[in-house]
Structure 1
Amino acid sequence: MANASLPHSRIQRQSRTAASGNTACRAVSEVSLLIGLLLLCLLPAVSHAQAPPRHADVVFENLDRSQGLPSPVIQAMAQDSHGFLWIGTGSGLSRWDGYHFRNYSFAVDVPGSLPDNDVYSLYTAPSGTLWIGTRSRGLARYEPQADRFQTFLPPGKDANNNAPAVYAIVSTGKNRLLIGTRVGLDELNPTTGSFTPVLLHGAAGRIAVVSLIRAPSGRIWAGTSQGIFLSDSSGRNFQQQRIFGGKQPGVWRLLLDRKGRLWIGTIAGAYLLRPFATEAVALHESGPGPSLLDQEAIDAICEPMPGIIWFGTFGQGIVAVDAATLETHRITHDAAFPTSLPSNTVVTLLTDQAGATWVGTTNGVGRTDPGNGIDTFFGATGTSSRSARIPDSGITSISPERDGHFWLGLNENGIALVALKGNTLQTIRHIAAGLKAPLPPGQVNAITTSDDHVFIGTSNWVYRASLDGNHLTALPQPKESGIRVDALVYENDGLRENGTLWIGSHHGLWREDFSGPSSNAPLRAPVAIPLTDLEITVLARGTGHALWVGTAHELFRYDTNTHQAIRIPVDPSNPDALPAPVTSLLLDREHRVWATTWGGGVCVLTDAGHQHYKIRRLLHGLPNANTDAVLQAPDGKLWVSTDDGFAIINPHNYSIHALRQADGIAIPAYWVKSGANTADGRLIYGGDGGLTVIRPAQVRVSAPAAPVVVTDVQVEAKHYPPDAFNSTSSPMLNVSQNANRIAIEFASLDYSGATSNRYEYKLEGFDEDWVKTTARRRVASYTNLPPGDYVLELRGSNHNGVWGKVRTLRIHVMPAWYQTIWMKLGALLLLLLLLTGCYRLSTAYMRARQRELERRVELRTAELQKITEELQESRRQLEQIAHTDPLTGLPNRRMFSEHFRRLLATSRRQQKRSFTLILFDLDKFKDINDNYGHDAGDEWLKTVAERIRSMVRQSDCFARVGGDEFALLVADPINGHGIRTLCEALATSVREPLLMGQTPLKTTFSIGVASYPKDGDDEIALFKSADIALYRAKRAGGNCWYSYSPAEVENPQI
Structure 2
Amino acid sequence: MRCSPVLLTLSIVLAATAAASVYAQPLAGDPSGVAPPPTADPFPASRVVPIADSAGIGSTVTALAQCGVGYLWIGTPSGLARYDGVAARIYRRSESLVDDRITALFVDSQNVLWVGTASGLLRFDPESDAFSGGLDGFTVTAIAEDSRGALWIGTTDSGVIAYQPESGYAVRIGYDPNAPRSILSDSVTAIETDRRGWVWVGTRSRGITRLSASAAFARRVSEDDVFHIRQSASQPGIRSDRITELLVDTAGRLWVGTANRGYGPWPPDDAAESGGWVDTGGRSVSAFLVDAHGDVLAASGERIDRVLAGEPGRVARSHGHPTVTALLIDRSGTVWIGSETAGVGRLVPPLPGVQTVLAGSGGAWGSDSPTVWSFAEERDATIVVATDRHGLFRFDPDAGTTAAVGALAETPIYGVSVDGDGTLWLARGEHGAVAVDRDGRVQTQLVQTIVGPGLPAEAVFSVAAVDGLVVLGTTSGVILYDRDSARYRFAAAAGADGFVVTTLARSDRRVWVGTDSGSVGLIDLSGESGLDDRFAVGWYDVSDLRVDRIVQPVWSIAERADASLLLAARDGGVIAFERPGRDAAAGDHVSAVRVGGDPPAYGVVDTVDGYWVLTPNDLRFYRYPSGRTEPDEREGERRAAPALRLTRADGLPEGVFAAGALFAASDGSIYVGGTRGAARIDPAVLSGSQWAIDALVPPLAISQIEVDGGNVSAVVAALDLVAPEQTRVEVLLDGYDDQWVAAASGARVTYQDLPAGAYRLHARAVSRNGVVGPAQLVVEFESPRRRRTAAIVGLVVFWTLVTTVAIQIGLTRPADSRRT
Q: Does 1:345 align with 2:320?
A: no
Q: Does 1:504 align with 2:472?
A: yes
CA distance, structure 1, for counterparts of residue 419 and residue 702 of structure 2: 58
In structure 2, give the amino acid aligned to 1:131: W
In structure 1, give the amino acid aligned to 2:184: G
Could you say which residue in structure 2 is the equivalent of 1:628? 603
CA contact (8 A) 1:796 1:803 kept: yes
CA distance, structure 1, for counterparts of residue 562 and residue 275 of structure 2: 52
Q: Does 1:558 align with 2:543?
A: no
CA contact (8 A) 2:395 2:402 kept: yes
CA distance 1:816–1:524, change in 2 (3 Å): closer
Q: Does 1:248 align with 2:239?
A: yes
Tell me the CA shift for residue 80 of structure 1. Answer: 0.8
Could you say which residue in structure 1 is the equivalent of 2:23? none
Task: Give matches, 1:109-508, under 5 Å.
Answer: 113-137=96-120, 139-153=121-135, 163=138, 165-182=139-156, 187-192=162-167, 193-195=169-171, 205-206=184-185, 210-211=189-190, 247-249=238-240, 250=242, 252-253=244-245, 265-268=257-260, 278=270, 293-301=280-288, 312-314=299-301, 316=302, 326=315, 328=317, 330-332=319-321, 344-363=322-341, 365-368=343-346, 370-371=348-349, 373=351, 388=365, 391-392=368-369, 394-398=371-375, 408-410=385-387, 413=389, 415=391, 417=393, 439=411, 444-446=414-416, 456-459=426-429, 460-463=431-434, 475=445, 477=447, 479-481=453-455, 484-488=459-463, 502=470, 504-506=472-474, 507-508=478-479
3-state SS of paired residue (2:343): strand
In structure 2, give the amino acid aligned to 1:118: R
CA distance, structure 2, for counterparts of residue 647 and residue 606 of structure 1: 24
Q: Alignment partner for residue 789 of structure 1, among 738, 758, 762? A: 758
3-state SS of paired residue (2:287): strand
Task: Give matches, 1:25-36, under 5 Å.
Answer: none
Structure 1 gap ranges (5+): 1-53, 155-161, 285-290, 333-343, 492-498, 514-522, 717-738, 831-1054
Task: Give matches, 1:774-785, under 5 Å.
Answer: 774=744, 778-783=748-753, 785=755
Corresponding residue pairs, total: 684
CA distance, structure 1, for counterparts of residue 766 and residue 611 of structure 2: 26
CA distance, structure 2, for counterparts of residue 275 and residue 602 of structure 1: 66
Tell me the CA shift for residue 628 of structure 1. Answer: 0.9
Tell me the CA shift for residue 714 of structure 1. Answer: 3.1
Higher helix share: 1
3-state SS of paired residue (2:281): helix
CA contact (8 A) 2:376 2:385 kept: yes
Q: Does 1:653 align with 2:621?
A: no
Q: Alignment partner for residue 58 of structure 1, among 47, 64, 79? A: 47
Q: Alignment partner for residue 748 of structure 1, among 714, 718, 738? A: 718
Tell me the CA shift for residue 686 of structure 1. Answer: 1.6
In structure 1, give the amino acid aligned to 2:125: E
Q: Deviations over 1:329-351 (max 9, x none)?
A: 6545xxxxxxxxxxx22211223
CA distance 1:789–1:503, change in 2 (3 Å): closer
Q: Deviations over 1:245-266 (max 9, x none)?
A: 9652445346688999988754
CA distance 1:602–1:653, change in 2 (3 Å): farther
CA distance, structure 2, for counterparts of residue 509 and residue 645 of structure 1: 35
CA contact (8 A) 2:559 2:566 kept: no
Q: Deviations over 1:449-481 (max 9, x none)?
A: 999996532122234678788x77973548224
Structure 2 gap ranges (5+): 1-42, 216-224, 629-636, 804-820
CA distance, structure 2, for counterparts of residue 259 and residue 819 of structure 1: 67
CA distance 1:449–1:347, change in 2 (3 Å): farther
Tell me the CA shift for residue 78 of structure 1. Answer: 0.9
Q: Deviations over 1:290-328 (max 9, x none)?
A: x995332232355789799865443x3656789999564
CA contact (8 A) 2:716 2:745 kept: no
In structure 2, give the amino acid aligned to 1:76: A
CA distance 1:454–1:706, change in 2 (3 Å): same
Tell me the CA shift for residue 525 of structure 1. Answer: 0.8
Q: Deviations over 1:222-277 (max 9, x none)?
A: 76656778899999877859999965244534668899998875434765769995
Task: Give matches, 1:579-594, under 5 Å.
Answer: 583-584=555-556
CA contact (8 A) 2:701 2:719 kept: yes
3-state SS of paired residue (2:692): coil
Could you say which residue in structure 2 is the equivalent of 1:820? 793
Q: Alignment partner for residue 486 of structure 2, among 502, 506, 524? A: 524
CA distance, structure 1, for counterparts of residue 558 and residue 308 of structure 2: 37
Of stretches 526-535 and 704-713 in structure 1, the one that deviates more from structure 2 is: 526-535
CA distance, structure 1, for counterparts of residue 609 and residue 249 of structure 2: 35
CA distance, structure 2, for counterparts of residue 775 and residue 653 of structure 1: 32
CA distance 1:204–1:622, change in 2 (3 Å): same
Who wins on radius of gyration, i.e. which is larger?
1
CA contact (8 A) 1:260 1:275 kept: no
CA contact (8 A) 1:348 1:359 kept: yes
CA contact (8 A) 1:75 1:119 kept: yes
CA contact (8 A) 2:291 2:297 kept: yes
Could you say which residue in structure 1 is the equivalent of 2:694? 702
CA distance, structure 1, for counterparts of residue 583 and residue 98 of structure 2: 83
Tell me the CA shift for residue 127 of structure 1. Answer: 1.3
Q: Does 1:807 align with 2:777?
A: yes
CA distance, structure 2, for counterparts of residue 271 and residue 425 of structure 1: 38
Q: Deviations over 1:841-880 (max 9, x none)?
A: xxxxxxxxxxxxxxxxxxxxxxxxxxxxxxxxxxxxxxxx
Task: Give matches, 1:690-729, under 5 Å.
Answer: 691=678, 694=681, 696=683, 697=686, 698=689, 699-700=691-692, 702-716=694-708
Could you say which residue in structure 2 is the equivalent of 1:835? none
CA RMSD of superposed structures (Å): 6.1
3-state SS of paired residue (1:117): coil
In structure 2, give the amino acid aligned to 1:296: R
3-state SS of paired residue (1:601): strand
In structure 2, give the amino acid aligned to 1:93: L
CA contact (8 A) 1:509 1:526 kept: yes
CA contact (8 A) 2:620 2:646 kept: no
In structure 2, give the amino acid aligned to 1:171: E
CA distance, structure 2, for counterparts of residue 135 and residue 449 of structure 1: 71
Task: Give matches, 1:848-997, under 5 Å.
Answer: none
In structure 2, give the amino acid aligned to 1:80: C
Percent pairwise identity: 21
Q: TM-score, structure 1 length as denominator?
A: 0.51
CA contact (8 A) 2:416 2:424 kept: no
Could you say which residue in structure 2 is the equivalent of 1:35? none
Higher strand share: 2
CA distance, structure 2, for counterparts of residue 202 and residue 527 of structure 1: 97
CA distance, structure 2, for counterparts of residue 73 and residue 709 of structure 1: 27
CA distance 1:706–1:465, change in 2 (3 Å): same
Could you say which residue in structure 2 is the equivalent of 1:157? none
CA distance, structure 2, for counterparts of residue 281 and residue 636 of structure 1: 54
In structure 1, give the amino acid aligned to 2:147: G
CA contact (8 A) 1:453 1:465 kept: yes
Q: Does 1:642 align with 2:615?
A: yes
Tell me the CA shift for residue 396 of structure 1. Answer: 1.8
